[in-house]
C-alpha cells in the first residue's frame, strides 16, 4: 500500500482487543527535513475515530474534515462514511486532485481510504501507508505472531524498525489508542 506517497509512515493495528495507530513526525520538502515533530495521527468525531494520513498536509486535512462531516451525517458509521468519502473523492473534480491517503479506524474496523475509490479493510488487522509502510507493516505482523507485546508496544517497535530503514521516517512517533 505504498503507492507514490513518501515522507511519512502511518501504521494501524488491532491486537488483543486494542487498536493502536501510529505516525512518524518527519516532514520533508524535497530532500530536506523541515519538521521533526508533525502530528499525522489524530482523533476525530468525539474522539471515537482515529485517522492517520500520508501525502500533502493540506489535502490530508481536507480529507479528514470531509470524513468527519460524513461521520456526523451517518451517525458515526465509519464503514458508510468511508465508502461515501471514497466515492466523492473518486468522482469530484476538485477532490480527484488531492494527493493523500488515509487510514481511519474505530473500535471495530480499520480502513485504508484512497482517491482511487479504495476502501480496504485488512484481513489481519494490520495496515500501513507511506514510504515506510511496508517495513512497518511487516515488522508489526512479525511482532503480532512472535511476541507477547500489546498493540501500543507493537506499533512503537514497528515504527522504530521503519525509521531505521526509511529515510523519510523518523523516530518521533505519535500513537493514539482505542
- Alpha-carbon distance of 17 to 40, in angstroms, equals 23
- Alpha-carbon distance of 178 to 170, in angstroms, equals 24
**Residue 156, C-alpha cell as written in the block:** 512503537
Residue span of the structural domain in which 149 resides: 9-177
Q: How many domains does the chain have?
A: 1
pLDDT at residue 4, rounded to an integer: 43
* For residue 58, pLDDT beyond 80: no
Examine residue 26 and state whether it is found in any structural domain, yes or no. Answer: yes
Examine residue 3 and state whether it is found in any structural domain, yes or no. Answer: no
Confidence of residue 92 (pLDDT cuts 50, 70, 90): confident
The catalytic site residues sit at: 8
pLDDT at residue 3, rounded to an integer: 41
The three-state secondary structure class of 170 is coil
Please, is 165 exposed, middle or buried when counting C-beta atoms within 10 Å of its C-beta (0-12, 13-18, 19+)? middle
- Alpha-carbon distance of 164 to 107, in angstroms, equals 30
- Alpha-carbon distance of 80 to 5, in angstroms, equals 25
Examine residue 1 and state whether it is found in any structural domain, yes or no. Answer: no
Residues whose CB is less than 8 angstroms from the CB of residue 138 and which lie 6 or more positions away in sequence, other chains included = none
pLDDT digits (tens, 9 = 90+) for 114-135: 877 889 999 999 999 999 999 9
pTM, full prediction: 0.90
Confidence of residue 138 (pLDDT cuts 50, 70, 90): very high
Question: What is the percentage of the chain residues whose pLDDT exceeds 90?
Answer: 65
CATH of the domain at 155: 3.60.20.10
Amino acid at each position: 500500500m505504498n503507492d507514490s506517497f513518501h515522507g511519512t509512515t502511518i501504521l494501524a493495528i488491532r491486537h488483543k482487543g486494542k487498536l493502536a495507530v501510529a505516525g512518524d513526525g518527519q516532514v520533508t520538502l524535497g530532500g530536506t527535513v523541515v519538521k521533526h515533530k508533525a502530528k499525522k495521527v489524530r482523533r476525530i468525531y468525539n474522539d471515537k475515530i482515529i485517522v492517520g494520513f500520508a501525502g500533502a498536509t493540506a489535502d490530508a486535512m481536507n480529507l479528514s474534515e470531509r470524513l468527519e462531516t460524513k461521520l456526523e451525517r451517518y451517525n458515526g458509521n465509519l464503514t458508510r462514511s468511508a465508502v461515501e468519502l471514497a466515492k466523492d473523492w473518486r468522482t469530484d473534480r476538485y477532490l480527484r486532485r488531492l494527493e493523500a491517503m488515509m487510514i481511519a479506524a474505530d473500535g471495530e474496523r480499520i480502513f485504508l481510504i484512497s482517491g482511487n475509490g479504495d476502501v480496504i479493510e485488512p484481513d489481519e488487522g494490520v495496515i500501513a501507508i507511506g514510504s515506510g509502510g511496508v517495513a512497518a507493516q511487516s515488522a508489526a505482523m512479525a511482532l503480532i505472531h512472535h511476541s507477547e507485546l500489546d498493540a501500543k508496544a507493537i506499533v512503537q517497535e514497528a515504527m522504530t524498525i521503519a525509521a531505521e530503514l526509511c529515510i523519510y521516517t523518523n523516530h518521533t512517533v505519535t500513537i493514539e489508542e482505542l
